[in-house]
Amino acid sequence: MKVYLDAVSTTGVDEKVLETYKKLLDEYYCNSDALYDDGVAIYDMQEKARALIAGMLGVKKDELIFTAGASEANSLAIKGLALKHRDRKHLITSIYEHSSVYNSFRQLEEDFGFEVTYLDPDENGQITPVAVKEALRDDTLLVSIMHVNNEIGAINDVEEIAKIVKRHPGTYFHCDITQSLGKLDIDLANIDMASFSAHKIHGLKGSGALMKKQFVELLPLISGGQQEYSLRGGTSNALVNIVLARTLRIALENKEKYHDKLMELHDQLCEGLNDLVKINYASGLPTLINIDTPIPSEVLLNALNERGIMVSSKSTCGSRKNEVNRTLHAMGYDEDHAIRVSFDHTNTKEEIAYFIENLKEILDKYA
């Protein structure tokens, strides 16, 4: 039996998304900027997809920039904004952002002379609106705080943070919504920029977007043609962009459809885990639980892997690096014993039971 419990890292492609993509691939391969009929047809479909996605997010069509995922969207939002507005030197983010956000800030700090305030999560794992308010300065250009943390699942009140930033002249608010899109509702009214990725919601890898309000000016990071409002040069990955609309529609439909099932899986998982391990964090996103195991996480991961069970000890983007894990460190959790278990609607009760059963056997053997 193979059991995948790492949905936070990535998800399988929804079969309807795959079907649409294959159909498009069979039919179209020309450049979406070509002026013959097929080129125009793809271009029109891409623009329709852009309008549909914008509509689902409650923003305008030309406020959506297709990217190759959330890392690119985060980089464009943060570095693109800072490099366009170099007169304001102060930036605010949190210590537990995804590496694409954190390293963008580090680069701005180390290579471009910006001053960055890194906020710590409070004892509930959250970056509070009060902490943001207190960190704001007259010369603050940007605040970037993620909606849901990808290692512990903590949910931040980013709508409230956005309101605070909105009242502060000359300061923009960016939010990484990669882990909340299709899972939690969010009102983007006061959010100036938001990044997300398709592969976290059963879409294709290398696909995502940056929502950027019309008044926000960015410096393009990829110079090139007129694609994506001249903010991202390069031949459009038009077919992938087209299926992103279908991906998001399905994810939003599934959010309601599978709500009860996900809560049941959450309860089953928590009940099983409570008897075996210490829970580090389970009060955020219901589909993500961070635990502290009595044996080193590496030993446990390997033992689970041998039994066909896939989980992670930390963010996959940092899994091959030997750096301190910023989230676990900030929360005071033992990095060498932490495991992240995450699931989605494609998982079953039988799979959760199999995981718990095997976890028990492994702990009995090694602990």
Residues near ligand PMP (CB under 6 A) are 69-71, 98, 100, 146, 150, 176, 178-179, 197, 199, 208, 317
User: What is the smallest separation between the CB atom of 219 and ligand PMP, expressed in angstroms?
Assistant: 20
Residue 175 annotated among the catalytic residues of the structure: no
**Of 30, 175, 270, 317, which one is the catalytic site residue?**
317
Nearer to ligand PMP, 66 or 354 (CB): 66
Nearer to ligand PMP, 176 or 351 (CB): 176
Instruction: Report d(CA 20, CA 158) in Å as an integer.
Output: 34
Nearer to ligand PMP, 287 or 358 (CB): 287
Nearer to ligand PMP, 197 or 347 (CB): 197
User: What is the smallest separation between the CB atom of 317 and ligand PMP, expressed in angstroms?
Assistant: 5
Instruction: Report d(CA 117, CA 139) in Å as an integer.
Output: 12
Nearer to ligand PMP, 194 or 239 (CB): 194
Q: Give the nearest residue (CB) to ligand PMP.
A: 69
User: What is the smallest separation between the CB atom of 366 and ligand PMP, expressed in angstroms?
Assistant: 29
For 147: left if phi > 0, alpha if psi spans -120 to 50, otherwise beta; the answer is: alpha
Strand 64-67 relative to strand 208-212, pairing: antiparallel
User: What is the smallest separation between the CB atom of 312 and ligand PMP, expressed in angstroms?
Assistant: 10
User: What is the smallest separation between the CB atom of 199 and ligand PMP, expressed in angstroms?
Assistant: 6
Instruction: Report d(CA 367, CA 361) in Å as an integer.
Output: 10
How many beta carbons lie within 10 A of that of residue 145, not counting itself?
A: 27
Local structure of 74: helix, strand or coil:
helix
Q: Cα angle at 13 between 9 and 14, to 5 degrees?
A: 125
Instruction: Report d(CA 251, CA 257) in Å as an integer.
Output: 10
Strand 208-212 relative to strand 193-197, pairing: antiparallel
Tokens 């990217």 correspond to what residue?
67
Q: Cα angle at 44 between 40 and 46, to 5 degrees?
A: 120
How many beta carbons lie within 10 A of that of residue 318, not counting itself?
A: 17
Tokens 């009595």 correspond to what residue?
294
Nearer to ligand PMP, 146 or 186 (CB): 146
Query: Mutual orientation of helices 259-274 and 238-257 as an angle, nearest 10°?
Result: 70
User: What is the smallest separation between the CB atom of 265 and ligand PMP, expressed in angstroms?
Assistant: 20
Kindly list the catalytic residues: 317
